[in-house]
Structure 1
Amino acid sequence: MTEENLDDSKAPLIEHLIELRSRLINALIGLAITVIFCAFFAREIFDFLTHPLRDELLARGQEPHLIYTQLYEKFFVHLKIALFGGVFLAFPVIAWQIWRFVAPGLYKNERGAFLPFLVATPVLFLAGASLVYFFIMPMAISFFLDFQSSGDAEGTQIEFLGKVNEYLSLVMTFILAFGICFQLPVLLTLMGRVGLTSSAGLKRMRKYAIVGIAAAAAVLTPPDPISQLGLAIPIYFLYEVSIWLVAGIERKEEQRLRAEGLWVDDDELEEDEDDTEESRK
């Protein structure tokens, strides 16, 4: 390769790197704006996140309050809330910058196929976060608060006295675990579209998927049956939905190949293999 050809090959790479830098800067600017915005409303966001705990404590006749034991703890909690909320709000901007960087390198049909997945990602994440906030968390909080003890003349009173940092970490773990696991249909459908998996393969792997889902639920959630079942059951349902989606993609691909005269049935492949073996003999 001549020096001139080397210079020509370097030019597109440099252009892509410049474009990537521009998109990263735009995404970081959007993230910084949303983080600053959430920092001004960190108290309100924290009140929203503690709403399930507050309702359960009030229903039990207890004062809904949390404590912090280190001077800087509440400050870092506000920073975590600002970053956590900022990522949520900035996701459309980040996704748009990713799309603007990737889209020029895709064909028109590929762009049409990729865009629904980009839209489905935040929708599924929000669905998982909503499930855990409105249904799983209240039941899990009630389960854990049942371990309190009022005590008597011979017993010791045991009362929940939570820390702001520990509660926020628990809520963030819940939301991230459910939100990320709800991306399973997006991942498996993308894999099916590029040929890395198939509906038949997913069906064969169903029993292993059940074991994996149970293990993931045990690791990602607190050690209570409500949280673990609350994550495992929806994820298994989404796994079945993924099989149906991958099968739909396969049917569309089969229809396209049949229309172009490129589809070969499995029976024909087997006959060709038999004929090949007989000719070899």
Structure 2
Amino acid sequence: MQEHLKNLTAFLAELRKSLRFAVFSLIGLTAVIFFLSSGLIGAFQEHLHEKLYFFSVAEPFLAHVKAAFFGAVYCLMPLFMHILWKALGNPFGVTGRRLFWFTTATCLLFYLGSLFCVFVTLPYGASFLLSYQSAHLKPFIAVGSFVNFVTIFVLAFGLIFELPVFMVFSVQTGALSVQFYKKNRRFAILAIAIIAAVLTPTPDVFNMALMGVPLYLLYEAGILVVRLLRIDERRPAIKIP
């Protein structure tokens, strides 16, 4: 217990060192992207073939601020991942080449998940939800709700696609084992089904499968990577060629 508390203290101390730089970077880039946010919203609007409206005086401005903030988070994800793994470096030995590989893998999977959401899940989900319109029920989509809808799902997909990296990390630190992941596949499937039901924009089985199947494949990929790298749970190092 004392060792875990010591690791947590070291992690938070290192994280605090970089927090100010990350916050100022986020604010600065948000301000820059704000002037490009009209094009960003327009690109998603054209991609999903939707007309947008606003129903309050401040709504367009706030929607552009949200879009700019999302764009900044998306662009700065490599920085955030580097800060995270650097903070984990002291207590868990994630340094040098391991720091580079963890940061690179999390960034690649984040962007892969977000792009999968943009080009696969969102178009189908939006089309399915809007299929319920009728002669007496016409869609008037508020720009604020549209930005919230898009950004939440894109970020969520990006983050959950990082599952294999954190599986590798948990085994490398000894927090969990390969056998744990192998023996609890059925619980993993249940958890993935729940996550897919909550995060996907539509409740139909096909759209849930668009998220659930890749997520389960990533779960299996995490197990495979741990075995291929031959991570010894009793050692604090990862054998990366």
2:190 to 186, 206, 211: 211
2:75 to 86, 89, 95: 89
Residues 211 and 29 of structure 1, relative CA distance in 2, 3 Å threshold: same
The question of 1:163 aligning with 2:151 is answered no
1:50 to 45, 53, 69: 45
Residues 254-269 of structure 1: matches in 2 within 5 Å? none
8 Å contact from structure 2 (residues 129, 202) kept in 1: no
CA–CA distance in 2 between the matches of 1:115 and 1:100?
A: 10
**Relative contact order higher in (CA < 8 Å, ≥ 6 apart):** 2
2:162 to 177, 183, 195: 183
Per-residue CA deviations over 1:15-49 (Å, capped at 9, x if unaligned) read x96x8665333222322221111111010111122
8 Å contact from structure 1 (residues 140, 224) kept in 2: no
The question of 1:228 aligning with 2:228 is answered no
2:99 to 94, 99, 114: 114
8 Å contact from structure 1 (residues 198, 246) kept in 2: no
8 Å contact from structure 2 (residues 85, 102) kept in 1: no
CA–CA distance in 2 between the matches of 1:105 and 1:195?
A: 13
Residues 53 and 20 of structure 1, relative CA distance in 2, 3 Å threshold: closer
1:25 to 15, 20, 23: 20
1:142 to 127, 152, 166: 127
8 Å contact from structure 1 (residues 35, 85) kept in 2: yes
CA–CA distance in 2 between the matches of 1:76 and 1:189?
A: 39
- Which residue matches 1:265? none
- Which residue matches 1:74? 60
Residues 139 and 95 of structure 1, relative CA distance in 2, 3 Å threshold: closer
Per-residue CA deviations over 1:51-99 (Å, capped at 9, x if unaligned) read 3321xxxxxxxxx421111111111111111111111222333444556
8 Å contact from structure 1 (residues 217, 231) kept in 2: yes
The question of 1:38 aligning with 2:33 is answered yes
The question of 1:173 aligning with 2:152 is answered yes
Residues 169 and 20 of structure 1, relative CA distance in 2, 3 Å threshold: closer
Q: 1:197 is paired with a residue of what secondary structure? A: coil
Matched-pair identity in %: 30
8 Å contact from structure 2 (residues 164, 222) kept in 1: yes
2:227 to 232, 247, 252: 247
CA-CA distance at 1:229 after TM superposition: 1.7
8 Å contact from structure 1 (residues 52, 137) kept in 2: no
CA-CA distance at 1:219 after TM superposition: 1.5
TM-score, structure 2 length as denominator? 0.81
Residues 25 and 248 of structure 1, relative CA distance in 2, 3 Å threshold: same
CA–CA distance in 2 between the matches of 1:210 and 1:20?
A: 33
- Which residue matches 1:266? none
CA RMSD of aligned residues (A): 2.7
8 Å contact from structure 2 (residues 78, 103) kept in 1: no
